[in-house]
A and B are shown apart, each in its own frame.
Chain A
Amino acid sequence: MSHYYDAKDLKRFAEVGKFNPEFMQKFFDYYNLVTGTDTALTKREKALIALAVAHAKQCPYCIDAYTVQCLETGSNPEQMTEAIHVAAAMEAGMALIHGIQMHNVMQEHGAL
């Protein structure tokens, strides 16, 4: 394998169901219901959440898909940028809150 990620692979997602099509179909049904319909949240809001998650998880397939989905549901660059700042802020917060664990360990070792 010469490289790990290829944009063309996104279109081949369904091939993952090759050895268990039933599970894969149930996943797609669930996925499309959750992300692709206006329910309590609009498709636009869901796309912005998904874009943020895609960045937090650093999934290039999802960043590709949800950047377009955000544009196609009417979001603008400012809103999309704010969404990934929320992801970044959450990531930062999740790292920093573990500083309390660091303090706890330091206390256990008499260093704090």
Chain B
Amino acid sequence: MEMVAEKSGVLAVSREDRRRYDFYGSLEQHNLNLAPAGIATLQMNITKLCNQACLHCHVDASPKRTEMMSRRTLEKCLEILGAYPEIKNLDITGGAPELHPDFEALVTRARQLDKHVMVRHNLTVTFDGNPQTGEPKTYLPEFFAARQIEVISSLPYYQEFFTDKQRGRGVFNKSIASMRLLNTQGYGRDGTGLLLNLVYNPVGAFLPASQAGLEADFKRELAARFGLFFNHLYTITNMPIHRFKAQLQRLGSYEAYMDKLLAAFNPEAARGVMCRSLLSVGYDGRIYDCDFNQMLEMQICNGKPMTVFDFDWADLQRRSIRFAAHCYGCTAGAGSSCGGATAS
């Protein structure tokens, strides 16, 4: 039986949303069976602490949050990574994951396990440092380069207005300065193998433009205006949960946004949803189908909830991925995932 976190307001999936935005119904209508297709990526959300408090953040991360993955849980994740060569990628996210005290150790040891390591790096943490301790983080570009880490960074637009509106005053200029440091290390430049990928998400209640078109715009404009380089742009649809849902409700546009996502349901994008090949681990070790389900507390439940401490590969392959109204965010238009669009 489907379990849905039944909280009020913006925190979880409401009964009304389940009725109006029936994702399972859409799958049935299009004869889609979105079964797990292996686990290529383990995504670890190691902290909700962040130096920023962005308008669209589905984690509700901020400088005031204190949740941190324990060392015991982190060790267990590394054990899983070591035990399963099928898991090729480690995707470290937060909050700002660099603010976790064991971040450097996690990255270093995952690389020693020969995993491809991606860090969701917000760019500004390099200059802001830890908002609670004041610890500086200016070593990050060099640290990333030395370990051949793929850096994935949000930059909502190649101009200041949209970027600062979504991510806070001064974020754009700091992001540009941080990109310059990464470029200096070789990131975003052909032949270095150092990948710097940017993430675009709309600054408001609308869908992203085409990924290819925006990538071309970003490359042209960032090179012309600032002499900056990156590899790829990922377009991500804003997920109608938590802080962004609250914003939609304040604007009176939640229903219009949901209707737009529903109308734009794309079966091709649905086939490529990231939850089919990714597992998401929360700071407390619980396992979810994706980071969004994690924030809605929709824990993987194939008979019983699972944590990293009772990780069961075979059981995970047999599980039914849990869907709800927010999943329309991943299937609208060209689709959306942590790696950008999922359909042409």
Contacts and interface: CB of A to CB of B under 8 A. Distances in A.
Given A71-B204, A76-B159, 20 more contacts: A42-B213, A44-B209, A44-B213, A68-B206, A71-B202, A71-B209, A72-B202, A72-B206, A72-B207, A72-B208, A72-B209, A73-B209, A73-B210, A73-B213, A74-B209, A74-B210, A74-B213, A74-B217, A76-B162, A77-B162
Contacts of A71: 202, 204, 206, 209
Contacts of B207: 72
Interface residues of A, number: 10
Given A44-B209, A68-B206, A74 B214 contact: yes
- Most chain A Cβ neighbours within 10 Å, of B159, B210, B214: B210
A78 B206 CA distance: 18
Contacts of A76: 157, 159, 161-162
Interface in A72-103: 72-74, 76-78
Interface in B190-226: 202, 204, 206-210, 213-214, 217
A68 B157 CA distance: 16
Contacts of A74: 209-210, 213-214, 217
Contacts of A73: 209-210, 213
Interface in B40-90: none
Interface residues of B, number: 14
A58 B161 CA distance: 27
Contacts of A77: 161-162
25 contacts: A42-B213, A44-B209, A44-B213, A68-B206, A71-B202, A71-B204, A71-B206, A72-B202, A72-B206, A72-B207, A72-B208, A72-B209, A73-B209, A73-B213, A74-B209, A74-B210, A74-B213, A74-B217, A76-B157, A76-B159, A76-B161, A76-B162, A77-B161, A77-B162, A78-B159
Interface in B270-304: none
Nearest to A7: B256
A90 to B, nearest CB: 26
9 interchain residue pairs of minimum CB distance: A74-B209, A71-B206, A72-B206, A73-B209, A72-B207, A74-B214, A68-B206, A74-B213, A72-B209
Contacts of B213: 42, 44, 73-74
A71 B202 CA distance: 8
Interface string A7-39: 000000000000000000000000000000000
Interface string A48-86: 000000000000000000001001111011100000000
A73 B211 CA distance: 10
A77 B161 CA distance: 9
